[in-house]
């Protein structure tokens, strides 16, 4: 029998922040954390949906507005959380967009790299000195198709390809998680940086690509994909299991890592390139206007 939510340890007295907690994997992650006793901050672009989820969880759930596609919103959210919480035990960088048409964030970034990577990069930087245990960044098996173009990361000169842009953003998530691990370790910090991916899960992420195949995915994904509570297990394992290792990547243990229980998995050689990670980190600090309290 593999690891399930029954194996989540007692989290009484601990505080977690989960981005994108108004639906899908984020909502399931928040539910499991709250049921284990944690206070959970549901960081949501759709606050109304977040309140619906929080209503199931009682006083341990707090809903706060966060739009990762707007760095002003990221800063406002971080300031609010810092004012309310002396410590944050766990940050789960879960929210994301997938394969959307070309559009820009409030700060001019391509939407997928801006939301999936830059928004979470800035959020982590602004909260890191309050984090006591671990940062979990959610990537995807699709990171394998990703290529980081540091000279055109926002697709201003290249012909836009929505899936390649998604792959770039998910590769950036892994490069960030691994580089954060290296920097925390070098600084002598006990804080962990881990990554996870959900396999193929039935969530509304698949239905928002606005492509011709969106309706097909909407009809077939509930039958082919695993339910969200199963897809959330790798993130939950990374966020709570005492034995989960910093610098590791967790995903499902089934065929092709599409479904199953959490296990440590491998990522592409490109995701483990420390020089690429360093250069992406420096570019991200520059573009987001943040700096980390680890060198």
Predicted confidence at residue 295, as pLDDT, reads 66
**Residue 105 dihedral angles phi and psi, to the nearest 5°:** -80, 175
Integer angstrom CA distances of residue 81 from 16, 86, 196, 240: 11, 9, 24, 21
**C-alpha triplet 7, 252, 24: angle, nearest 5°:** 80
**C-alpha triplet 215, 225, 22: angle, nearest 5°:** 80
Nearest to 77 by CA among 89, 87, 63: 63
**Residue 2 dihedral angles phi and psi, to the nearest 5°:** -80, 175
Distance from C-alpha of 33 to C-alpha of 129, rounded to nearest angstrom: 22
Query: Is 80 part of any domain?
Result: yes
pLDDT at 215 over 90: no
* Band of residue 27 on the pLDDT scale cut at 50, 70, 90: very high
The model's pTM is 0.93
Q: Please say whether the beta carbons of 216 and 15 come within 8 A.
A: no
Across all residues in the chain, what is the average pLDDT?
93
Least confident of 103-112, 198-207, 268-277: 198-207
Active site amino acids: 166
**In 187-243, alpha helices (H):** 214-224, 228-231, 233-240
- In the chain, the percentage of residues whose pLDDT exceeds 70 is 92
pLDDT, tens only, 70-86: 999 999 999 999 999 99
Q: What is the domain count for the chain?
A: 1
* Band of residue 203 on the pLDDT scale cut at 50, 70, 90: low
Distance from C-alpha of 10 to C-alpha of 77, rounded to nearest angstrom: 27
Query: Is 252 part of any domain?
Result: yes
pLDDT at 202 over 90: no
Residue 204's CATH number: 3.40.50.720
Residue 5, CA atoms < 13 Å, CB-side half-sphere: 15
**Rounded-to-10 torsion of CA 75, 81, 84, 88:** -140
Query: Is 93 part of any domain?
Result: yes
Query: Is 35 part of any domain?
Result: yes
**In 10-70, alpha helices (H):** 24-35, 47-57
* Band of residue 294 on the pLDDT scale cut at 50, 70, 90: confident
pLDDT at 40 over 60: yes
Q: Which residues contact 240 (CB under 8 A, 6 or more apart)?
A: 8, 9, 11, 33, 36, 90
pLDDT at 252 over 80: yes
pLDDT at 68 over 90: yes
Query: Is 27 part of any domain?
Result: yes
Domain residues for the domain of 16 are 9-288
DSSP code for 56: H
What average pLDDT does range 110-130 have in this prediction? 98
Query: Is 71 part of any domain?
Result: yes
Distance from C-alpha of 49 to C-alpha of 70, rounded to nearest angstrom: 19
Predicted confidence at residue 211, as pLDDT, reads 54
Query: Is 1 part of any domain?
Result: no
pLDDT, tens only, 161-187: 999 999 999 999 999 999 999 999 999
Distance from C-alpha of 107 to C-alpha of 289, rounded to nearest angstrom: 11
Q: How many residues does the chain have?
A: 295
pLDDT at 212 over 50: no
Query: Is 294 part of any domain?
Result: no
Longest Cα–Cα distance in the chain: 50
């Amino acid at each position: 029998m593999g690891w399930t939510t029954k194996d989540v340890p007692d989290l009484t007295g601990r505080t977690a922040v989960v981005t994108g907690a108004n639906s899908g994997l984020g909502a399931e992650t928040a539910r499991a954390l709250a049921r284990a006793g944690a206070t959970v901050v549901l960081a949501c672009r759709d606050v109304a949906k977040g309140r619906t989820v929080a209503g199931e969880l009682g006083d341990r759930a707090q809903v706060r507005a966060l739009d990762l596609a707007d760095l002003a919103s990221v800063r406002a959210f971080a300031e609010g959380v810092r004012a309310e919480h002396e410590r944050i035990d766990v940050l789960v960088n879960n929210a994301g967009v997938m394969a959307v048409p070309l559009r820009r964030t409030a700060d001019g970034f391509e939407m997928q790299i801006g939301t999936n990577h830059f928004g979470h990069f800035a959020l982590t930087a602004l909260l890191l000195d309050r984090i006591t245990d671990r940062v979990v960044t959610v990537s995807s098996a699709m990171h394998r198709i990703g290529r980081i173009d540091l000279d055109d990361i926002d697709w201003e000169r290249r012909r836009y390809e929505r899936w390649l842009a998604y792959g770039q953003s998910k590769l950036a998530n892994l490069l960030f998680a691994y580089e954060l691990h290296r920097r925390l370790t070098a600084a002598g910090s006990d804080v962990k940086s881990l990554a996870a991916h959900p396999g193929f899960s039935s969530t509304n992420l698949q239905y928002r690509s606005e492509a011709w195949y969106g309706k097909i995915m909407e009809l077939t994904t509930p039958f082919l994909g695993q339910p969200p509570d199963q897809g959330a297990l790798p993130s939950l394992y990374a966020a709570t299991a005492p034995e989960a290792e910093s610098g590791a990547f967790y995903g499902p243990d089934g065929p092709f890592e599409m479904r199953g229980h959490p296990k440590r998995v491998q990522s592409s050689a490109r995701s483990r390139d420390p020089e690429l990670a360093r250069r992406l980190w420096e570019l991200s600090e520059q573009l987001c206007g943040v700096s980390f309290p680890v060198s």
